[in-house]
C-alpha cells in the first residue's frame, strides 16, 4: 500500500496532463489573437459622434464632476455655424482624461447628458511617460467615416440649435 | 421704534418688526420659503407664485375687538386658498404653515408650470450648479411634467441685451427681477417686458443695448440662466471655481469682491481669474458692484505685464537692479523723489513713504485732486453707512458725477434719496444723479467754492442742510484740477464744520478720488504737487504705479529733465520706456494688502492667482531697497508691514488683521447655501473692514485751511476753456486691456454747448481739433446743452491731456472725404 499509493497518484496526475492534450485550449495567443470583451466591459473612453459627424460632447463638464478620481478635465467654448463642433451653443474645446488616474468606474458615462462619453473595448493602455497618460480630445474622439463629416465644419445656419437631444428612457 | 409683532411659522414663534413680509420673517427664523421673483432688496412683485403658503389669522370678535378664544387658544381662521408669503406682511398672532400637503402640492404645480417651456439645458447653462430654479426643482419639483413635449415653445437662445449681457429667452421665467433692479434700485429703466401671456419677453429699451453700468448685477439676481455675462460665457462650471476674497481696485468705493479662479488649458495651464463676483458688505457695496469692477480685471493678465527687471531697457536680475537703484539712491539721498499713485495698497505707500523719509527725499502723490488732508479731519465718522441715511438727512454731491466716478456710491446715494434723504446735487452740468435730487444747483465753472459757501446762508437749501440730522458731502474733481478741488474741499469742510456735521457717524466729508487708494496715500503722508515738472528737474525720480509720461506729454518732457528714473509698475507704459531701471510689480490679484476707501474704511484683499514672472509686491520692493539703505523696512510680509503701519500712523492705531477680519450677521442672508434668496453674491466671511476715526471724532483740534473764493479758472469771453471730467470706461491702463469694454470706451469725445458747436460748424458725431498747452489732438463731438457755452468737457484718460482747466483752441473739422 505504501508503495502503490504514490505511484497511483503520480499516474493519475500524468493521466490528467495527457488528457489535456486533447482538450480545447483556454489560452489565446495575445497579442496576435484577442478575446472578445463582455458587453458591459469598461475600457478606454471614446467620445462619440452623431451620425452626421458632429460631436456629441457639449463640454458640460458633468463627467469631470462625477469622476471620483478627478481624472477628467474639460474646458468649453462657443460654437458658431461657421465653425461647428457639436449641436447647440457649447462644445468642449479641451477634453483630457488622465488614464493613470482613471479607475474605469463608468460614472462619467452615467453623468453624460448626451451619451457622448462611452467606456469602450480598448484595454491596451501603456505609457512610458506620465504625460502620455493624458489623452487629449483628438485621441478620444471617434474617427469620422468621411472627411466631409469632420469637425469643426461649416453648417447651414439655424439647424443645430439644441445641445441636449430629445432622449428616450434608457432601455438597457 | 417700530412695533414688534409675534407670529408662528411652522410652530416656531418669531418676533419681527411691523411691516416685515412673511417670507422675510420665515428667513429670520431659519425657515426657507422658496421664491423666484421676490428679492429682499426690492419691492415684492408676487408674480412667480412659488412662495405660496397657508396663512391663518386669529378671529377677532367685532363687538369686543378681542381675539375669539377656543380651548384656551385664539381661534385661527385659515384662508381657503394659499397666499403668497412675499406680498403679505405679518400680523399679530398670524400662523403660517410652509410644509403642509397643500403647500407642497402648490409648489409642485407652480414648478410644473414654470418648466413648461424651460429648455432644461442645464448642462450647457452658465447658471447650472448655482441656479435657484435647478435647486428648487430638485427640492420641490414634481419630477415629471404632464405637458406635451412637442408643445414646448422654442425661442431665441442667444440674444444680446447689450454687449455685456446675453439673454436666453427660453430660460426666462418672467420674474422681472432684472427689470425691477434697473427701475427701483438703479433708477434706469433700460429693460422691459414686451408682449403678453406666453409671448412675454425681456427686451432692452435703450440704445446701445442694456445701457447701464450695473448690468452685471442682473445676472447675479436672475433666478434662472436667462441672463448671463458675456465675460464668463462657458468659462467654467460654478463648482469648479475657487473663491478668493478681494477688494475692487477701480474706484474709491472699495467694493468687496470675490475672484473665482480656475486652472485653465487655454491660458497654458495657469490658474486664472474666470469671473469677479460681489461679496456682501452692507455698509459698502451691499450685494452689488458695477460693470467696470466686474469686467475690467483683465489688465492683470495683459500681455503688457512686466515680468523681469530691466536696467537701461535690457533684461537684468533683481540683484543687479536693486544694486543700481540702491547705489543711486545712496549717492544722492535727498534728491530722491518718490511719485506714487493711489493704485497702490496702504502697505506699499507706507514703505515708500518710509523710504523717502529715510533718505530725506520727497514723496508726491500722483493725482489731480486735492483735499485728502481734510477727509482725515472732518471725514465721515466711524460707523457711517450710506444705507442708513434717509428722512431728515442731507447728502450734498458737489463737482462729481458719481455715476461715472464711483457707480456704487451713485446707487447708494440714489437709494438714500428714495428713502427720503434730501439730495443736493451741485455741478456745472447735468449728471445722472440730478434726476433724484431735491435740489439741483447748476453753477458756472469757477463758482464751485461760491456755491458751497452760499449753502451757509438763509436760503431754503442752506436751512435744510444746516438743520439736517445727518449730512454727508461728496466732493469731486468734475471740471476741476488739483487746486480747484483742494479749494472746493476746503469750502465743503468749512460748511460741515460750521453746521456741526462732523465727528460723528453718517456725517462728514467724502472725497470721490480718482483712484482706489488715494485716501490711503493721504493717510500715509503722500501729498500732491502742482508743479511736477520742476519737482522732477535734476532729481532721482522713483515712480510707482503711475504713468505720467503716458498721461501727459508735458510730463514726459519733464521726465527727460530727471537725472535717473526708476519705474515700478505692473504694465509696460511710456514711462517704463523712459526708465533707467524698471522693477516689475505684482498686480493686486497676486498678493495681499489693504486699501483705504473713500469712506476711510480699511479693507483687506488676498492673493487669488500665482505671480506673473519674477514680479514682486510693491511694498516688498520698496522694503528691500530700504533695507539695503540701512532702513528697518519690512520686505517680506504684507501683514507685518500693516502691523508696523498701524503702530506708526496715528489714525490706524490699534488696527490689526483680526480687526480687519471681523464679520457680523448681515441682512439679507446671502451665500452659497440658498442662492434663490439673494442671488449668487458671495457671503462675506473674510471681514468687513474697519472705518478709521476722524480727528473731529477724537475731539482733536481741527485746523481747516482758509477758503479761497476763486476755485478754478473761469472761461473768458473770447476763449474756450477745456475742463476735465471723468468717464467710467476710459483708456486708463486698468480698463483698456479688457476687450469686452472696447465699445463702451469708444473714441475720445468732447462735449460742446450747442451754440459753440454751431459757431464751430460741427454737429454731434463730427470731429474737432483741439489745441492746448502746446499740444494738439482730435476728438469726436457730443452736444450737451447743460454746460456753459464757454467750456469744452474733455474726458480724462482718453489721450487728451487736460489735468487742469486750460484755455483751448477748437476748430471744427470737415468730414474726412472718402478717397
Reported as a single tens digit per residue, the pLDDT across B99-132 is 999 999 999 999 999 998 899 899 999 999 999 9
CA–chain centroid gap for B423, Å, is 20
Are B418 and B185 spatial neighbours (Cβ–Cβ below 8 Å)? no
Strand order through the sheet with B593-596: B593-596, B601-605, B690-691
- Chain B CB contacts of A94 below 8 Å: 265-266
- A164–B234 CB contact, under 8 Å: no
CB-hemisphere CA count at 13 Å for A129? 3
Give the 3-state secondary structure of residue B620: helix
Residues of A with CB under 8 A from a CB of B: 58-62, 64-65, 73, 75-78, 88-90, 93-94, 96, 113-114, 161-164, 166
Residue A3 belongs to a domain:
no
In the block, residue with C-alpha cell 545712496? B330
User: From the CA atom positions of chain B, what is the Rg in Å?
Assistant: 28
What cell does B374 get? 481734510
Q: Would you place residue A167 in the very low, low, confident or very high pLDDT band (cuts 50, 70, 90)? A: low
Q: What is the DSSP letter of B144?
A: S
- B124–A163 CB contact, under 8 Å: yes
CA dist B258 and B85 (Å) reads: 32
Of the partner residues B157, B236, B240, the one whose CB lies closest to the CB of residue A161: B157
B156 and A CB contact within 8 Å = no
Are B690 and B601 spatial neighbours (Cβ–Cβ below 8 Å)? yes
Is B720-813 a domain of CATH 1.10.340.70?
no
What cell does B117 get? 417651456
Average pLDDT, chain B: 94
What cell does A99 get? 488614464
Q: How many CB atoms lie within 10 A of CB B537?
A: 16
Residue A170 belongs to a domain:
no
Mutation target to probe the B interface, by most B beta carbons within 10 A, among A91, A134, A164, A169 is A164
Least confident of A1-15, A45-59, B481-495: A1-15
Q: Would you place residue A171 in the very low, low, confident or very high pLDDT band (cuts 50, 70, 90)? A: low
- A61–B154 CB contact, under 8 Å: no
Range of the structural domain that residue A106 is part of: 45-149
> What is the reported pLDDT for B153?
85
The residue among B116, B119, B142 whose CA lies nearest residue B131 is B119
The residue among B603, B602, B396 whose CA lies nearest residue B512 is B396
Give the 3-state secondary structure of residue B729: coil
Are B426 and B406 spatial neighbours (Cβ–Cβ below 8 Å)? no
- Chain A CB contacts of B123 below 8 Å: 58, 60, 62, 113-114, 163-164
Reported as a single tens digit per residue, the pLDDT across B779-816 is 999 999 999 999 999 999 998 989 999 999 999 887 65
Nearest-5° angle of CA B552, CA B553, CA B554? 90
- A60–B157 CB contact, under 8 Å: no
The residue among A74, A54, A56, A76 whose CA lies nearest residue A151 is A54
- B266–A94 CB contact, under 8 Å: yes
pTM for this one? 0.94
Closest-approach residue (CA) in chain A for B267: A75
Judged against a pLDDT cut of 90, whether residue A153 lies above it is answered with yes
List, as one string, the DSSP characters of chain A. -TTHHHHHHHHHHHHHHHHHTTSPP----TTTS-PPPPTT---SEEE-B-TTS-BS-----HHHHH-TT--EEEEEEE--SSSBSSSSSEEEEEEEEETTT-----HHHHH-TTS-EEE-S------SSGGGGEE-HHHHBPPPSSGGG-SSB---TTS---SSPP-PPP--
Closest-approach residue (CA) in chain A for B264: A75
Q: Would you place residue A2 in the very low, low, confident or very high pLDDT band (cuts 50, 70, 90)? A: confident
| Strand B4-9 to B12-17 pairing | antiparallel
Cα separation values, B618 from B218, B725, B814, Å: 36, 30, 48
Average pLDDT, chain A: 92
Residue A143 belongs to a domain:
yes
CA dist A70 and A59 (Å) reads: 16
> What is the reported pLDDT for B817?
44
Q: Would you place residue B774 in the very low, low, confident or very high pLDDT band (cuts 50, 70, 90)? A: confident
Reported as a single tens digit per residue, the pLDDT across B420-434 is 999 999 999 999 999
What cell does B477 get? 474733481
- B310-367+521-661 and B4-114 share a CATH fold: no
Residue A34 belongs to a domain:
no
Instruction: Mark B598-624 as b/e (b = at least 16 C-beta within 10 Å).
Output: bbbbbbbbbbbbebbeebbbbbbbbbb
Judged against a pLDDT cut of 80, whether residue A168 lies above it is answered with no
Reported as a single tens digit per residue, the pLDDT across B393-403 is 999 999 999 99
Judged against a pLDDT cut of 90, whether residue B331 lies above it is answered with yes
- A60–B128 CB contact, under 8 Å: yes
Q: What is the mean pLDDT of residues B64-79?
A: 89
Q: Would you place residue A169 in the very low, low, confident or very high pLDDT band (cuts 50, 70, 90)? A: low
- B158–A90 CB contact, under 8 Å: no
Are B375 and B351 spatial neighbours (Cβ–Cβ below 8 Å)? no
Are A56 and A119 spatial neighbours (Cβ–Cβ below 8 Å)? no
Reported as a single tens digit per residue, the pLDDT across B303-314 is 999 999 999 999
* Share of residues in chain B with pLDDT > 90 (%): 86
Sign of the dihedral through C-alpha A111, A115, A121, A127: negative
- Chain A CB contacts of B149 below 8 Å: 166
What cell does B525 get? 503722508
Where along chain B do its domains lie? 4-114, 150-298, 310-367+521-661, 372-514, 720-813
Nearest-5° angle of CA A85, CA A88, CA A90? 65
Instruction: Mark B321-354 as b/e (b = at least 16 C-beta within 10 Å).
Output: bbebbbebbeeeeebbbbbbbbbbbbbbbbbbbb
Helices (H), B168-290: 177-180, 215-221
Number of structural domains found in chain A: 1
> What is the reported pLDDT for B815?
61
What cell does B273 get? 481669474
Q: Which CATH architecture has domain B372-514?
A: 3-Layer(aba) Sandwich (3.40)
Q: How far is B483 from chain A (nearest CA, A)?
A: 51
ipTM of the complex in this document:
0.88
Judged against a pLDDT cut of 90, whether residue B714 lies above it is answered with no
Reported as a single tens digit per residue, the pLDDT across B653-671 is 999 999 999 999 999 999 8
The fold of the B4-114 domain, in CATH, is Ubiquitin-like (UB roll) (3.10.20)
Residue A23 belongs to a domain:
no
- Residue range B150-298, CATH number: 3.30.70.20
Residue A160 belongs to a domain:
no
- Chain B CB contacts of A93 below 8 Å: 266
Cα separation values, B410 from A105, B204, B403, B732, Å: 55, 22, 5, 21
Of the partner residues B123, B237, B265, the one whose CB lies closest to the CB of residue A113: B123
Q: How far is A150 from chain B (nearest CA, A)?
A: 22
Residue A133 belongs to a domain:
yes
Residue A163 belongs to a domain:
no
Strand order through the sheet with A134-135: A72-78, A90-98, A134-135
Helix axes B318-331, B618-628, angle to 10 degrees: 60
Q: What is the mean pLDDT of residues B375-399?
A: 96
- A·B CB contacts under 8 A: 54
> What is the reported pLDDT for B711?
65
B123 and A CB contact within 8 Å = yes
> What is the reported pLDDT for B420?
96
Q: What is the mean pLDDT of residues B31-43?
A: 95
Q: What is the mean pLDDT of residues B578-585?
A: 96
Are B376 and B506 spatial neighbours (Cβ–Cβ below 8 Å)? no
* Share of residues in chain B with pLDDT > 70 (%): 99
Helices (H), B71-207: 101-114, 132-140, 177-180
Q: How many residues are listed for chain B in this entry?
A: 819
Domain containing A71 — which CATH number? 3.30.70.3270
3-state secondary structure string across B699-712: CCCCCCCCCCCCCC
B310-367+521-661 CATH pick, 3.40.50.620, 3.40.50.740, 3.10.50.40, 3.40.30.10 = 3.40.50.740
CA dist A116 and B235 (Å) reads: 20
Amino acid at each position: 500500500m505504501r508503495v502503490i499509493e504514490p505511484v497511483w497518484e503520480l499516474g493519475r496526475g500524468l493521466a490528467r496532463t495527457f488528457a489535456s492534450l486533447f482538450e480545447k485550449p483556454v489560452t489565446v495567443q495575445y497579442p496576435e489573437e484577442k478575446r472578445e470583451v463582455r458587453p458591459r466591459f469598461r475600457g478606454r473612453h471614446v467620445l462619440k459622434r452623431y451620425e452626421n459627424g458632429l460631436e456629441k460632447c457639449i463640454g458640460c463638464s458633468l463627467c469631470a464632476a462625477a469622476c471620483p478620481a478627478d481624472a477628467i478635465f474639460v474646458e468649453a467654448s462657443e460654437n458658431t455655424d461657421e465653425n461647428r463642433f457639436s449641436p447647440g451653443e457649447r462644445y468642449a474645446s479641451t477634453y483630457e482624461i488622465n488614464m493613470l488616474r482613471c479607475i474605469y468606474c463608468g460614472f462619467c458615462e452615467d453623468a453624460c447628458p448626451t451619451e457622448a462619453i462611452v467606456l469602450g473595448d480598448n484595454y491596451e493602455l501603456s505609457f512610458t511617460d506620465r504625460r502620455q497618460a493624458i489623452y487629449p480630445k483628438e485621441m478620444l474622439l471617434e474617427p469620422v467615416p468621411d472627411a466631409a463629416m469632420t469637425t469643426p465644419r461649416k453648417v447651414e445656419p439655424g439647424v443645430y440649435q439644441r445641445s441636449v437631444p430629445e432622449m428616450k428612457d434608457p432601455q438597457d | 421704534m417700530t412695533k414688534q409683532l409675534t407670529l408662528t411659522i411652522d410652530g416656531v414663534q418669531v418676533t419681527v418688526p411691523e411691516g416685515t413680509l412673511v417670507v422675510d420673517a420665515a428667513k429670520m427664523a431659519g425657515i426657507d420659503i422658496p421664491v423666484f421673483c421676490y428679492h429682499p432688496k426690492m419691492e415684492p412683485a408676487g408674480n412667480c407664485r412659488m412662495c405660496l403658503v397657508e396663512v391663518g389669522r386669529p378671529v377677532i370678535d367685532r363687538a369686543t375687538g378681542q381675539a375669539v378664544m377656543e380651548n384656551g387658544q385664539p381661534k385661527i381662521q385659515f384662508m381657503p386658498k394659499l397666499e403668497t408669503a412675499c406680498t403679505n406682511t405679518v400680523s399679530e398672532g398670524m400662523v403660517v404653515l410652509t410644509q403642509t400637503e397643500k403647500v407642497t402640492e402648490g409648489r409642485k404645480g407652480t414648478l410644473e408650470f414654470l418648466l413648461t417651456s424651460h429648455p432644461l439645458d442645464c448642462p450647457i447653462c452658465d447658471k447650472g450648479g448655482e441656479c435657484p430654479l435647478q435647486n428648487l426643482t430638485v427640492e420641490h419639483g414634481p419630477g415629471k411634467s404632464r405637458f406635451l413635449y412637442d408643445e414646448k415653445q422654442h425661442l431665441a437662445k442667444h440674444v444680446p441685451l447689450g454687449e455685456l449681457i446675453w439673454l436666453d429667452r427660453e430660460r426666462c421665467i418672467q420674474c422681472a427681477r432684472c427689470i425691477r433692479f434697473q427701475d427701483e434700485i438703479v433708477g434706469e429703466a433700460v429693460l422691459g417686458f414686451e408682449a403678453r401671456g406666453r409671448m412675454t419677453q425681456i427686451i432692452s429699451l435703450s440704445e446701445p443695448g442694456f445701457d447701464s453700468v450695473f448690468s452685471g448685477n442682473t445676472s447675479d439676481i436672475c433666478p434662472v440662466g436667462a441672463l448671463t455675462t458675456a465675460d464668463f460665457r462657458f468659462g467654467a462650471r460654478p463648482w469648479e471655481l475657487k473663491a478668493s476674497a478681494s477688494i475692487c481696485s477701480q474706484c474709491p468705493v472699495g467694493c468687496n469682491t470675490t475672484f473665482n479662479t480656475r486652472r485653465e488649458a487655454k491660458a497654458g495651464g495657469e490658474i486664472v481669474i474666470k469671473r469677479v463676483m460681489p461679496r456682501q458688505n452692507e455698509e459698502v457695496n451691499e450685494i452689488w458692484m458695477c460693470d467696470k469692477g466686474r469686467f475690467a480685471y483683465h489688465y492683470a493678465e495683459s500681455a503688457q505685464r512686466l515680468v523681469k527687471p530691466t536696467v537701461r531697457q535690457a533684461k537684468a536680475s533683481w540683484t543687479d537692479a536693486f544694486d543700481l537703484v540702491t547705489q543711486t539712491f545712496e549717492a544722492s539721498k535727498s534728491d530722491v523723489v518718490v511719485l506714487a499713485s493711489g493704485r497702490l495698497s496702504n502697505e506699499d505707500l507706507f514703505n515708500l513713504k518710509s523710504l523717502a523719509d529715510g533718505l530725506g527725499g520727497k514723496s508726491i502723490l500722483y493725482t489731480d485732486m486735492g483735499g485728502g488732508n481734510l477727509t482725515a479731519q472732518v471725514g465721515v465718522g466711524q460707523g457711517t453707512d450710506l444705507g442708513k441715511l434717509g428722512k431728515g438727512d442731507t447728502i450734498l454731491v458737489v463737482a462729481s458725477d458719481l455715476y461715472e466716478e464711483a457707480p456704487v456710491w451713485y446707487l447708494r446715494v440714489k437709494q438714500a434719496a428714495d428713502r427720503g434723504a434730501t439730495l443736493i446735487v451741485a455741478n456745472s452740468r447735468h449728471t445722472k444723479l440730478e434726476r433724484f435730487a431735491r435740489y439741483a444747483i447748476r453753477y458756472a465753472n469757477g463758482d464751485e467754492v461760491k456755491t458751497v459757501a452760499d449753502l451757509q446762508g438763509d436760503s431754503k437749501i442752506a436751512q435744510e442742510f444746516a438743520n439736517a440730522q445727518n449730512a454727508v458731502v461728496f466732493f469731486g474733481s468734475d471740471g476741476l484740477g488739483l487746486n480747484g478741488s483742494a479749494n472746493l474741499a476746503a469750502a465743503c469742510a468749512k460748511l460741515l464744520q460750521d453746521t456741526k456735521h462732523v465727528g460723528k457717524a453718517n456725517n462728514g466729508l467724502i472725497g470721490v478720488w480718482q483712484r482706489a487708494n488715494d485716501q490711503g496715500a493721504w493717510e500715509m503722508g503722500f501729498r500732491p504737487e502742482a508743479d511736477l515738472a520742476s519737482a522732477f528737474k535734476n532729481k532721482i525720480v522713483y515712480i510707482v504705479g503711475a504713468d505720467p509720461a503716458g498721461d501727459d506729454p508735458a510730463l514726459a518732457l519733464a521726465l527727460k529733465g530727471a537725472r535717473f528714473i526708476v519705474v515700478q509698475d505692473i504694465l509696460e507704459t511710456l514711462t517704463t520706456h523712459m526708465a533707467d531701471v524698471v522693477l516689475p510689480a505684482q498686480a493686486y490679484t497676486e498678493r495681499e494688502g489693504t486699501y483705504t476707501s473713500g469712506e476711510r474704511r480699511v479693507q483687506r484683499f488676498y492673493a487669488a492667482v500665482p505671480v506673473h514672472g519674477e514680479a514682486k509686491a510693491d511694498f516688498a520692493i520698496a522694503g528691500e531697497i530700504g533695507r539695503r539703505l540701512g532702513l528697518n523696512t519690512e520686505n517680506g510680509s504684507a501683514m507685518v508691514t500693516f502691523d508696523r503701519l498701524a503702530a506708526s500712523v496715528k489714525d490706524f492705531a490699534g488696527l490689526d488683521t483680526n480687526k480687519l477680519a471681523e464679520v457680523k450677521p448681515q441682512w439679507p442672508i446671502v451665500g452659497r447655501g440658498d442662492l434663490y434668496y439673494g442671488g449668487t453674491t458671495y457671503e462675506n466671511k473674510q471681514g468687513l473692514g474697519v472705518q478709521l476715526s476722524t480727528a473731529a471724532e477724537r475731539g482733536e483740534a481741527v485746523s481747516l485751511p482758509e477758503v479761497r473764493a476763486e476755485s478754478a479758472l473761469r472761461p473768458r469771453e473770447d476763449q474756450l476753456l477745456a475742463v476735465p471730467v471723468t468717464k467710467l470706461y476710459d483708456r486708463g491702463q486698468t480698463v483698456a486691456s479688457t476687450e469686452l469694454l472696447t465699445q463702451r470706451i469708444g473714441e475720445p469725445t468732447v462735449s460742446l454747448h450747442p451754440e459753440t458747436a454751431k459757431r464751430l460748424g460741427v454737429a454731434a458725431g463730427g470731429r474737432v481739433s483741439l489745441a492746448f498747452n502746446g499740444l494738439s489732438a482730435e476728438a469726436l463731438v457730443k452736444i450737451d446743452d447743460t454746460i456753459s457755452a464757454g467750456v469744452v468737457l474733455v474726458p480724462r484718460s482718453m489721450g487728451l491731456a487736460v489735468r487742469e482747466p486750460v484755455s483751448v483752441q477748437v476748430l471744427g473739422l470737415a468730414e474726412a472725404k472718402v478717397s
